Amino acid sequence: MQRWKWALLWCLGLALVVSACSQGPAGNEQTKTQNTAQRNQPIAKPVSDGLLKPEPIQVKPHEATANESALSKLPADSPKPAATVNSETISPDPDVLLPDENVMEPFEQQVPIYFVNRTQQLEEWNKLSAFWNESTEKVAHPRTGQLIERKVVKIKVPLGLTQSPPVPPENPITVSKFVLGKKLYFSRILSSDNSVSCSTCHHPNKGFTDQAPVSTGIFGKQGTVSAPTVMNAAYNLLQFWDGRAVSLEDQAQGPVQNPVEMFDGKGNAWHEAVKRLRNNTEFVELFKRVFGHDPTRDATAKAIAAYERLVLIGNSIHDRADLAMRERVEAAAVPDFTIQAQDYEKVLKEAFARKDKHALSPFQLDPQNAKDQEKIPELAKSIANGRVLFFGKARCNQCHAGDNFTDNQFHNLGVGFKDGGKLTKDNIGRFGAQMLGHKDPQAVGAFKTPTLRGLLSTAPYMHDGSEKTLEEVINFYDRGGNANPWLDPKMRDVQAEQAYLRDPKNYKGPQVHLFDGKPIVPLRLNLTDQEKRDLANFLRALQSDPPDPIVADPAKFPPGY
């Protein structure tokens, strides 16, 4: 009898456990209802547990919001339901969805965009007459395998850029995606109060910057850095001054949730932005056409990045002189690949003949004024001398190297260090963006080397906009920057520092700055006034043509769009 009672109690307990497991925790019915609602959506396909499992969400410093999504609290192996913010369900998922090919642009109507550069595709590059070139291609249809012909656009990568911009395989560029990205870039819909767009701080008429020491965002709030240019940002290894974004797609997600740029601090920044996009008929149609689903954070970032990859500049006076040199060397069969004054003179005269204002205006030359043409021989000599200084005495190429005149690295120049090298919170630089476990003290106060292309359009200079003119920048480097404990070795007179350490009492070299006993001696360049003028003229020769109107003009779109 006693055994029978214990058996009965055990069975009852088991029944209760089974019942509890079948019901799940509180709110599970709501989740099941949400998932059912998602599956019943006629267009959008959410990422289900059976296809992809989300990794634990890691919020970067620039991604922190006032109210984190409930998704960030889910275990790594949990299904991803529709998002819930402030007890409001957003369905379908505002972050990422899978495409429905039944509603997106058919494969045969998609118009891919390809890059063609002079170094790797010389014959084809020479045939292209403009930046934007419409053509056709024959390709196998992925569904039928049949060979079809469809339209394509070939982008003529500007002279001087020997490589095409890298394109992530998960984000190929099409004309429709470019158009969507451009509309998003110039629209204010991504800001909480519809007051700020990407172009507010990165405007084509201002060198894709705002030409201000620091940028102004939502509610008139001011940031702490000068807006970096978008021009040729496609070649950056990392984005932002401190490199906290690993791609253009990653960078595009930052401002929307930054309370100093676009976010009013209410709710989840991106979920609110997606809701605004989904309430806009034009954007909903464009997203479905390009991605096969409603607007999402993932797709928005991809579209903006696709547009920004076409913000390319090149064909500067220096690029033209380099080509002229190679043609001269080939004709003379003399292997001396050094750009000379005659090469700069040749291309400057050609610019005058073509009335090329973009090429001549950096030197304050007017192609309509015949007397200005008489200044060309002397100017060409100055540019050539400046080039020698750039790669020699001035040591500019130590950091400004390659096609885009940047090493894509981070250096402490002493910018922002004042009052004896005291570090301010706004100048922590790359060190602040590095992940825990990877913090490098040498990265304190280090900021990304910017491109020198188009720099006349992007003043003021440095990450804090502290230098107003090229001449001020040259003077800054001439004195060796600002002394601080983390000054980059390339900015220091290491030999003088070692001499001081060996015999500090009898040291007679340049001024030594001591930081906890560590000697720092900024490396002075000792440029003459004429050398400074020559160097400035060479920098002007890097100005480059502006981005093509199909990219830079907010009102200009391809035919049919």
pLDDT of residue 32 exceeding 80: no
Q: Is the peptide bond before 485 cis (omega within 30 degrees of 0)?
A: no
The per-residue pLDDT of the chain, averaged, comes to 87
The 10 Å Cβ neighbour count of residue 331 is 8
Q: What is the pLDDT of residues 243-295, one digit of tens each?
A: 999 999 999 999 999 999 999 999 999 999 999 999 999 999 999 999 999 99
Q: What is the pTM of this model?
A: 0.84
Contacts of 140 (CB under 8 A, 6+ apart): 146, 147, 148
CA 297 to CA 497: how far, in whole Å? 51
Contact between 151 and 136 under an 8 Å Cβ cutoff? The reply is yes
CA 323 to CA 382: how far, in whole Å? 19
Q: What is the pLDDT of residues 467-519, one digit of tens each?
A: 999 999 999 999 999 999 999 999 999 999 999 999 999 999 999 999 999 99
- pLDDT: is 70 or 270 the higher one? 270
Structural domains in the chain, CATH included, are 82-196+231-313+549-561 (1.10.760.10), 317-390 (no CATH), 396-526 (1.10.760)
What's 287's DSSP letter?
H
pLDDT of residue 9 exceeding 50: no
Q: Which tokens hold the place of 189?
A: 């819909």
Angle between helices 175-186 and 297-308 (to 10 degrees): 100
| CA torsion through residues 211, 215, 216, 218, sign | positive
- CB under 8 Å, gap of 24 or more: what pairs does 514-518 form? 515/421, 515/484, 515/485, 516/485, 518/485
Q: What is the pLDDT of residues 435-452, one digit of tens each?
A: 999 999 999 999 999 999
- Give phi and psi for 257, each to the nearest 5: -110, 15
The DSSP element (H or E) to which 39 belongs, if any, is: helix 28-39
Extended beta strands in 260-361, E state: none
CA 260 to CA 227: how far, in whole Å? 13
Q: Is the peptide bond before 559 cis (omega within 30 degrees of 0)?
A: no
For residue 522, the cross-strand partners are 492
* Cα-to-chain-centroid distance, residue 444: 22
CA 311 to CA 188: how far, in whole Å? 20
Q: What is the pLDDT of residues 365-379, one digit of tens each?
A: 999 999 999 999 999
* Alpha-carbon dihedral 123, 126, 132, 133, rounded to 10 degrees: -60
